[in-house]
Structure 1
Amino acid sequence: MDNGSPESTITSVHKAASVIENRGNLDALFPDLRNTFNDSFSYISTKKEHVQPVALKESIILPAEGLESIRHFDTKTNAAGIATALNRAYYSIKGHLYIWDYVERKMTIHVEDDDIVGVAFVPPKAGIFAPEINHLLIISTVREVKIIAVSYSASSGLKVFKTDMSTNTSGINMKTITGTKFGRVFMLGTDGNVWDLDYRREETWFSGRCSKRLHTIRNDMLFLIQTTTDPVTQIALSETGDVLYQLTENSHIHVTYLGVDGQSYKDVLTYKDAAERANESLRTSKLLDPRTFKIVSINPTSSAESKSYHLVAITSTGCRLYLSHHKDNQHLKQDEAPNTLTLSHVRHPDESILPTDVFSHTLYKDGLFVGVKNQNQKPTEDTIVTYSPDLGSLTTPKIIMTGTSAYKEFDNLLKVPGKIISIVESTTSPHRINELSTPYETPGRTLLALTTYGIVVLIKQRPIDMLYRLLNSTNGDTAIRLQDYGSFFQHFGCINGVSLCLGLICSPSSINNTGINSVEPVTDVITGSAKVLLETLGQTLSDLNPQFTSRHDGLALFVYRAINSIWSKPLVKVPSNGASVVYTSTLSSTELQNTQQILKKLNILMTEKPNCFLRSAYKEEEESLKNMKELVAYMAEGLSFVEYMIKTGISNIVQGMKPESQNRLKTITLKDLLTTSDGRKLANDLSYALVDYTFSKYDNTGYVVDVLTQYCKSFCGANDVFLYKATKQIYAARSATNTTQARSILTESLGLLKKIALHIPADKAAEIVDDFVYQGYPVYGVELALSCTEARDPYHTTNGFVELGCPANDARAKIFKSKQPFYDIIFNLLYKSIASSLVKPDSKREVFRSTFTGCKDQAFAYYVFEKFTEKGLGPELINESPPYLHEFLSRTPFDYERANLLATYYKNKGRYEEAAITYFNLARETNDTSKRTAFLIEASNCARCVTAPAKQYDMFRLKQAIDQNLEEVRGQNIPTQ
């Protein structure tokens, strides 16, 4: 970070923050997918393996005992699935449940007396089990449903505990089991009905610890015999856990509202028009023949994908039906209960899919469709079909800004060994639909398929993964393969291309390269190749603004993406339960450290590549690049400061602040703390509190400086420590035993403050000056404020700026603005010295003398003189006659008040000729008769005082003119008859 003043730093980072937020609109305005749908369906097939949207990462083979047992698996009678949160796959063969740890490659077998027909790992209810129990294993046999408690962590592994909770199945096999986030468990029985599995801590008079309850969608009494002509074949829960969807054999969809707490069960409606409505939507499609129409899966969607639809149903031919369970714009209220089910869009697969093709094991989430095509076609392998959003068509700057995105998709075919039994998406890694905005170190989306050979791991490749693989394949020969990268940059946009390159170059060292969700480390070859792309393909003009290059806008977008997750978070939070106030940080040390690493690497890159990131043919861009570098360095140090406070004890530090500062801190975001003047003041208070807290632990200035400099550097380092020490000394001087001791203490503190004058904020300087004045040493206050202005402009460059009349676009205006608060401090002190009597040893004259003696800052003198004239204190200036006063009073253009003072100045100085001329000119400028008369008399008196022989003729002519004007004035005053 540049060693500039606090004011200049805040100005730079504030401008940079505005730029990065503006460019961040490419992410912030990412569309609701429903708004991009239209009647034409466009698919893009990728030929190169490196840029395929879904790729085969690895195949994990079952151990020998697993390969032997899974040959007997029967989808009709056995259960199977994958619990990604536990890194376990499972399947049952008769009474044996095989649980396979596919990460550690270990198999365990759980044995039941009866055949196992249903298995699931679900969340537990709160308050029923010990805190370490974070999952329940539900096992359904032909005789009973049993609950087993499970404790799992990455360090201690998986542990199971008996609970003695079970209930009889009453002859109904519970084949499908699913749990809500509230701990509620639903089961789908072979009777075609949905059952509720309930459990409690203690038995009651009328029920045991575990029981089941029937839910039926029929209104007749047939449920008593537990049969149905349209059985439920699949159940699914909304992301929020408050809506249950049921799919029936006849492709009807039943909607049930579970309540805000997830504990109710209110039937909303049954949607029976899917086949008819879908056919009406796409009459020309052969894939939606009502005679063969069949929905094979229902998939709730997230609000991140769209607020306009809530469910995607997939047909056996691979068509997608987008359905909404709200009407009348009720979708705008996310907590409202569903009130309908309507078809909003239908999308058929690409042209390669035939009406005879059959999809199974289908799933859909956040824009990604996955399905197995014609599973029984080949006995040794399966074909997986995927469709995913083409982000290049959704994030082009022109499209984002105009809101006219058109939905296109990548299609993908993958051959996997073995027959797929179950396929799920891993829940261990968060993701975004706009994968362009995801950092490289955060693992992308992962699909796991349990097959008759083992686990197949599929990765959803983000654009940054594609770029990584492209760069990795060239072995450093990037420059001679620019055409390939040019196509990549063109497809996703050069701005995004630059951002992705920076994402690889600046990726933190804490990359997870082990396990299922690992990402590959970024090597020197990768970063070197990415830098080549920045220097070649990044110099095109930006699509957002032709006055900037893609390198500039891509840099701003990357910074936005790097800090966005923490940018708008409050810095601290406090408990709201009325307990003793304990402040905690909303930011985790891990995310602070990762963001710091990214910003520090970026700062190094900008320093090493000034031709890319600091210099530009465009003046506006060059200034913006320098501001962004200032922000990057400042943000890195600010995060280090926050991390050190968390490590040291943020609550104790915050409690050392003033009450008003504590209240402000409760609401301020990291962005405002680091980029606004108000935030800077609060950051200063935090720094002061941190120094105070550190001194309370280590009463040694040198050690405190070393500690804070090591962890916080210039954000809270030596300058802050010395400022703290000096202000403490000034306060201590109040209790000095005598005047000599007080002066000695204040003199020492003033000397210390002058050494760090550049780094003293204006508001802090004002406090210190007030303390000096209070203790009777206003001269010290003047010296401090003058030192602060001198440090900000040691060569007095603003003198020329003021001489030119302060032009608005002058580069020196920024320096003048940084000095202005200190000018105000000095003026206020001078004004107080006139308005009140000061305590000795300082007098008004001493204050003026200390202010202006040897003054070389003409801009300061002019600024203060202007303030004096505005306050009507011009005569005080005349009495003191400071340097530059004559230049100020006599400068053009003409100003009546200044000319009046100038005349007095000449008269007091004995310069009677100039005084006479100035008074005479003032008389001619005023229309006030009395003032005109007074000026003319003063001019006449001054003219008579000129005694030099050489001036006698000139004065004679001037007196004639004065007398003539006096006669005219007297004539105007004669009353008419």
Structure 2
Amino acid sequence: MTIDNTRHILYTLSENSSIELYDLGTDGKSTSRIISLSHSNLEYQVSKLLRTIEVAQMTLLSSIKIIEETESTHIHLMAVSKTGFRLYFSTGAVYSSNTRPYTLHLVHIRLPPGYNRVIGESKPSSVEHVLYNRGTVIMACGTNITNYRPLLWCITPDEYAFSLNFSEKYFVTDLDMCPLSMDNIGPNLLIYNDPSLPQPPLVVRQQFENRQEYITITPQGLEIFEMIRPYDTLCELFAISQGTETDAIKNYFKNMPNNQACVACLTIICDQSLKNQKIKEYATRAFFTHGGEPKLVTENLNDSFHDLTRVSKNQNTSYRSGHFTTSMPSLVSSQPNTSFINNQTNTSFMNVQPNTSFINNQPNITNLQSISVHYSFKHNALYLYVSRLLRPLWNIKAVNMETTDGKTYIVNTVSPDDCLFVASHLQTLHTFMNNYYKMLANYTRIPLDSSRRTTVQDAHQSESKSINCLKQLVVQSAEVFNLWKLLSEHQFYIIANKLSEQEHRVLENVTFKELILVHQEICQSLVQKLLDTYLNESSSVDSISTKLRQVCPSIYHSEDAACAKASEMIKLAQSTINEDERKQILYQSLKVLKEVAPKINLTSVCLQYTNCAYMEGVYQMCTECANKIDPKNLGGHYFVNNMVLDRDGPGYGAYMLRLDIYKEISSSLDYLYSIMVKNPSLNIPTRPNLIPGILENTALTPEQSSNLIAELIKLCISCDDEIMHTVVYRWMIDKKLIRETIEMGHHSLEKFLLAQSQSDDNNNYIKDVLCRYYEYNGNYNEAAEVLASLSKRPESGLTLSDRLMYLGRAMACLRSKKLSTPALNATSLREVEDLLQVAEIQKMILDLFLSSQVDGKAEIIEKLNNSLFTLGELYSNFAEPHRLWEAQLAILQLSNHDDRELVNQIWENILLKVVEDCGDIGEHNKMTIALEKIKSLASSHPINSSTFDLEYVTTMLEYLNCNLGGDLESVYTTMLTIGAPIESLVAIYKKIYSTNDPRWQKTSELHVLEVIMSLARYYLQNVDLWPSGMQRRSIAVNLFDLLVICQNMLYSRFAHSPLIEGVIAIKTELDIIIKN
């Protein structure tokens, strides 16, 4: 009885050679009988597969053995007959592990030794006990007619796993007594191996396993047999031959695939448990003697295509309808291999019926050739050996997540011993490759024949490059496993938990393959966290740094060691109270870091120095890195010569490298600024104060940060590198530190601001800073020029108010008493004045639109803000179409346009619109509002200017006053208030009264006469306003004459009007003034 625990199947074998199969269910907790294979049925199946041998010899069964799922998915059971025949069965559950068994079908027979046409070859018989272990069969045979003593047969295919023909090797050993039972011990695995996964042949995994041991139990006691591994065979041959030129060694390389034989040599060479150096020397000599040479081969693509087609047909493997098919070529009736040991046999597969499938519609490919390199056997053996070393760990995850007491930890999947085993073998191989580098590169085998030399050299160069790549993989792999061992010895889960969240996610899913080939940065981060653990515990990093340099020098460089030492010193400085000692320690750390610059983590270094308030260190490290990366200062030359836009120049790369390094200065300033702004009242001082030592675990205060910013800025500006200056200027301007930037007063600031304004013409902020710089330094001409250009730039994001402000500042600059060359800019002053006046009119138009409701208002406002317009554009595009009368008047005045009729019409429209806008308020109030409008406009339009006709405006006002019933004195008093001479008013009223305008007859015929009388009374009451006697008499005479005209009119038309007495009384008073 035997149980297959991988498939949950139970088999039984009865004395009459019948086999029964029981299904234990998918979970192994149930039992159901599926099939019973009787002896007669077995004979029938055997006879169908093999007709040349007596069936009875094969069907008397001695034992049944399980073939687990990890070994084969197709064959499930092996039965061994009394004569050593091995019968292989399938239960039908081939394609899925979830398919339960439903049959027991013979698919394959292997003949024991003695049936392969070799005369005199012994055969097993009377098999009593069988032991099976991954392809190897141990049979204990009792005594009979042919066997005078018990024998132990061992048949194994391990050594010939990669032979083209299926071959097995067998050994026969005499026993004192037939054993009662047999079992295997081990094997003792030397490295992690997942038993649930399919395992490769022993020849692949032999370096990871000790020799397999088998034990037999007899009445006399125990016997233990040791099964040699495939490469042990070659080892013994070397020991027997004491050299490499014997027939046994030559036969070994002849009968084994050359790649596999060379791999066996490498396995011996790198076997650390083998102490016999002579054997290793023989293996090395044989490796190079039989390793072959690379060569260029011309292949016909048409043949290759048909070969590929044939392989595609043969690779369809199936177990249906009782037929076992395989892709292995030449397996039917194959001939036995000749071996250096006579006990090697070639076992044939019987009655194989291939399941073929044809590829139709093949293209007709002819006369196509390609040249490829056929690498040497030793090259292929190196790759095979490395792949076998890395195979167990290559695709497994580097870490697993484990939960303990509710907490999840990251733990290693591979033990430190396993890591050490792989790494040490890889290092041994690397030493071998280094010692025999020239022989591996075939430098000594270049032919003298010049016709062949080029072809051979090409092949050798290709192989040499490939071997160099393999060496790199070997080194990287060994270092990763060495590092993993070291991390495992330092509480790996604590180190891993210090990684960033993103690194944590990568580590959780990364395999060793990805660690070696892709994610070197994870290894470097883990190294850094390991060092941080030492630093946080205030431990010296010298020992761990030395160890890291030994085990993984390409991951942990000498620069890393220097950085670790410097970090330790900075950590010590933070806890040092004495200021002189602290500065000395920091200075020493700076010297260490300068030696390895620029191969350092500059970001980390600058942050540490910033936290330690050592701005000199930040500045010095950035300068040192920049000078070492660009020793000839090509970047500085490139920048100084204004070639920043020429990206094809030789110095552009150096310039960008310097700029990238100096970003760390910005980062340090950002860090300090974020602390400083916690106290908004602080400003950056012009001169930094002394900074006391920063004690351990003591954060920087806002005051300290402010001083540190000033110190670092001062250091940077004091150097000659203008690229560094630009980084500082850009940072300060971004932080709105305009005053501090300008007050530094360095000449490079002007160049920076000019370059920035030219490269980004839309950056108004930079242009504004440039103006302030010019103003601060007294360069008013330049400041005015920039301000004027700013105001005129269209669609620059400025509002009209901004443009007016810039023009106003430009005017102020040009009128400054400090102006160095005022005569030179007289024209500019006039231009700016004109611009400002036009802009003020544009602002007036904008305000009018803002307070009005018109169609397309938003678009008009946007246009007025986006650019400055000329007077003509303002008039034709805005003022005239939208009837903006006041704006029209202002435009006419500024342009000195002399068109009395147009101006008078505009005044009339203004007055009419004012009255119209008053709505339903009282008539008297309307007149008051109209007069106020006249007063406001008179401030911009002087009396009797081209845009203010006093006679016309006064006439219009009196007519309006008459219609609205306003006060008699309201018009002339308003005119007097805005500066109209009384003499002019008297003349105007005289002209109005004398013209006999019909408008007055329609309203109030005596209105003008009453206004004249009121004007005369106003004069008599305020005669002191005209101190000059001559002027008084002149006004009095004019009024007297006007009243005479009025009196005559009254006598002629209104003889009984009471106004006559009033006129006479006023004349009497005027006469007194005239006579005095």
TM-score (structure 1 length as normaliser)? 0.51
The CA distance in 1 between the partners of 2:658 and 2:462, in whole Å, is: 30
- The unaligned stretches of length 5 or more in structure 1 are 1-234, 397-404, 510-520, 797-815, 854-875, 882-977
Residue 551 (str. 1) matches residue 392 (str. 2)? no
Larger radius of gyration: 2
The CA distance in 2 between the partners of 1:495 and 1:542, in whole Å, is: 16
Q: Which residue of 1 aligns with 2:878?
A: none
Q: Which residue of 1 aligns with 2:367?
A: none
1:307 to partner: Cα distance: 0.9
Residue 652 (str. 1) matches residue 494 (str. 2)? yes
1:575 to partner: Cα distance: 1.0
Residue 474 (str. 1) matches residue 241 (str. 2)? yes
- The change in CA–CA distance for 1:851 and 1:710 in structure 2 (over 3 A counts) is same
Residue 285 (str. 1) matches residue 52 (str. 2)? yes
* Alpha-carbon contact 2:77-2:89 (below 8 Å) kept: yes
Q: Deviations along 1:652-699, whole A, 9 cap, x unmatched?
A: 2222333332332222222222222xx211111100111111234453
The CA distance in 2 between the partners of 1:503 and 1:293, in whole Å, is: 42
Q: Which residue of 2 aligns with 1:324?
A: 90
Structure 2 letter corresponding to 1:524? Q
Secondary structure of 2:225's match?
strand
Q: Which residue of 1 aligns with 2:417?
A: 590
Structure 1 letter corresponding to 2:499? M
Residue 536 (str. 1) matches residue 289 (str. 2)? yes
Match 1:446 to one of 192, 195, 213: 213
- The unaligned stretches of length 5 or more in structure 2 are 117-121, 194-198, 298-371, 444-456, 636-651, 674-683, 685-708, 727-747, 754-1076
Q: Which residue of 1 aligns with 2:733?
A: none
1:299 to partner: Cα distance: 0.8
1:470 to partner: Cα distance: 0.5
Q: Which residue of 1 aligns with 2:520?
A: 680
Q: Deviations along 1:383-415, whole A, 9 cap, x unmatched?
A: 3334322654x425xxxxxxxx54333344333
- The change in CA–CA distance for 1:741 and 1:395 in structure 2 (over 3 A counts) is same
Q: Which residue of 2 aligns with 1:135?
A: none
Secondary structure of 2:59's match?
coil
- The change in CA–CA distance for 1:752 and 1:523 in structure 2 (over 3 A counts) is same
* Alpha-carbon contact 1:665-1:682 (below 8 Å) kept: yes
The CA distance in 2 between the partners of 1:391 and 1:711, in whole Å, is: 35
The CA distance in 2 between the partners of 1:317 and 1:821, in whole Å, is: 82
Match 2:251 to one of 476, 480, 487: 487
Match 2:406 to one of 576, 579, 589: 579
Q: Which residue of 1 aligns with 2:479?
A: 637
Secondary structure of 2:534's match?
helix
Q: Which residue of 2 aligns with 1:841?
A: 714
Secondary structure of 1:656's match?
coil
The CA distance in 2 between the partners of 1:736 and 1:368, in whole Å, is: 71
The CA distance in 2 between the partners of 1:847 and 1:253, in whole Å, is: 95
Match 1:308 to one of 71, 74, 83: 74
Q: Report the structure, 1 or 2, having the larger strand content.
A: 1
Q: Which residue of 2 aligns with 1:693?
A: 533
Secondary structure of 2:175's match?
strand
| Identity, % of aligned positions | 20
Q: Which residue of 1 aligns with 2:156?
A: 388
1:742 to partner: Cα distance: 11
Aligned positions of 1:148-187 closer than 5 A: none
Q: Report the structure, 1 or 2, having the larger helix content.
A: 2
TM-score (structure 2 length as normaliser)? 0.46
Q: Deviations along 1:559-584, whole A, 9 cap, x unmatched?
A: 22222222223222221467223332
The CA distance in 1 between the partners of 2:418 and 2:59, in whole Å, is: 49
Q: Which residue of 2 aligns with 1:213?
A: none
The CA distance in 2 between the partners of 1:849 and 1:744, in whole Å, is: 30
Secondary structure of 1:255's match?
strand
Structure 1 letter corresponding to 2:181? S
- The change in CA–CA distance for 1:695 and 1:683 in structure 2 (over 3 A counts) is same
The CA distance in 2 between the partners of 1:822 and 1:548, in whole Å, is: 43
Structure 2 letter corresponding to 1:594? F
The CA distance in 1 between the partners of 2:143 and 2:535, in whole Å, is: 71
Q: Which residue of 2 aligns with 1:668?
A: 510
The CA distance in 2 between the partners of 1:671 and 1:757, in whole Å, is: 31
Residue 275 (str. 1) matches residue 39 (str. 2)? no
Q: Which residue of 2 aligns with 1:376?
A: 144
Match 2:167 to one of 405, 408, 411: 408
* Alpha-carbon contact 1:782-1:826 (below 8 Å) kept: yes
Q: Which residue of 1 aligns with 2:30?
A: 264
Structure 2 letter corresponding to 1:665? L
Name which of structure 1's ranges 309-318 and 438-447 shifts more when overlaid on structure 2: 438-447
Match 2:433 to one of 606, 609, 618: 606
The CA distance in 2 between the partners of 1:240 and 1:364, in whole Å, is: 16
Structure 2 letter corresponding to 1:658? S
Secondary structure of 1:414's match?
strand
The CA distance in 1 between the partners of 2:70 and 2:661, in whole Å, is: 56
* Alpha-carbon contact 2:619-2:716 (below 8 Å) kept: no
Structure 2 letter corresponding to 1:321? L
Q: Which residue of 1 aligns with 2:230?
A: 463
The CA distance in 2 between the partners of 1:597 and 1:738, in whole Å, is: 48
- The change in CA–CA distance for 1:335 and 1:729 in structure 2 (over 3 A counts) is farther
Name which of structure 1's ranges 556-565 and 338-347 shifts more when overlaid on structure 2: 338-347
Q: Which residue of 2 aligns with 1:240?
A: 6
* Alpha-carbon contact 1:380-1:419 (below 8 Å) kept: no
Q: Deviations along 1:315-350, whole A, 9 cap, x unmatched?
A: 2332222112234xxx34335533332222223334
1:501 to partner: Cα distance: 1.3
* Alpha-carbon contact 2:125-2:141 (below 8 Å) kept: yes
Secondary structure of 2:407's match?
coil
Match 1:622 to one of 456, 464, 473: 464
Aligned positions of 1:690-729 closer than 5 A: 690-697=530-537, 699-706=539-546, 708-709=548-549, 715-716=555-556, 719-724=559-564, 726=566
1:523 to partner: Cα distance: 0.7
Structure 2 letter corresponding to 1:417? D
* Alpha-carbon contact 1:321-1:346 (below 8 Å) kept: yes
The CA distance in 1 between the partners of 2:235 and 2:248, in whole Å, is: 13
* Alpha-carbon contact 1:239-1:300 (below 8 Å) kept: no
- The change in CA–CA distance for 1:735 and 1:318 in structure 2 (over 3 A counts) is closer
- The change in CA–CA distance for 1:239 and 1:614 in structure 2 (over 3 A counts) is farther
Q: Deviations along 1:761-791, whole A, 9 cap, x unmatched?
A: xxx4466578899998986575465467479
* Alpha-carbon contact 2:11-2:19 (below 8 Å) kept: yes
Match 2:103 to one of 340, 347, 350: 340
- The change in CA–CA distance for 1:649 and 1:847 in structure 2 (over 3 A counts) is farther
* Alpha-carbon contact 1:325-1:340 (below 8 Å) kept: yes
- The change in CA–CA distance for 1:756 and 1:282 in structure 2 (over 3 A counts) is same
* Alpha-carbon contact 2:124-2:141 (below 8 Å) kept: no
Match 2:17 to one of 227, 251, 257: 251
1:417 to partner: Cα distance: 3.0
Q: Deviations along 1:813-850, whole A, 9 cap, x unmatched?
A: xxx99x999689359789999x9999823779969646
Number of matched pairs:
573
Greater relative contact order (Cα < 8 A, sep 6+) = 1
Residue 825 (str. 1) matches residue 671 (str. 2)? no
Aligned positions of 1:904-915 closer than 5 A: none
The CA distance in 1 between the partners of 2:266 and 2:49, in whole Å, is: 44
Q: Deviations along 1:146-176, whole A, 9 cap, x unmatched?
A: xxxxxxxxxxxxxxxxxxxxxxxxxxxxxxx
The CA distance in 1 between the partners of 2:124 and 2:586, in whole Å, is: 93
* Alpha-carbon contact 1:371-1:384 (below 8 Å) kept: yes
Residue 426 (str. 1) matches residue 185 (str. 2)? yes
Structure 1 letter corresponding to 2:289? T
How well do the aligned residues superpose, as a CA RMSD in angstroms?
4.8
Structure 1 letter corresponding to 2:714? P
1:310 to partner: Cα distance: 0.9
* Alpha-carbon contact 1:495-1:550 (below 8 Å) kept: yes
- The change in CA–CA distance for 1:829 and 1:701 in structure 2 (over 3 A counts) is closer
Q: Deviations along 1:881-917, whole A, 9 cap, x unmatched?
A: 9xxxxxxxxxxxxxxxxxxxxxxxxxxxxxxxxxxxx
Residue 504 (str. 1) matches residue 272 (str. 2)? no
Q: Deviations along 1:125-159, whole A, 9 cap, x unmatched?
A: xxxxxxxxxxxxxxxxxxxxxxxxxxxxxxxxxxx
The CA distance in 1 between the partners of 2:470 and 2:598, in whole Å, is: 22
1:531 to partner: Cα distance: 1.4
* Alpha-carbon contact 2:531-2:541 (below 8 Å) kept: no
- The change in CA–CA distance for 1:389 and 1:348 in structure 2 (over 3 A counts) is same
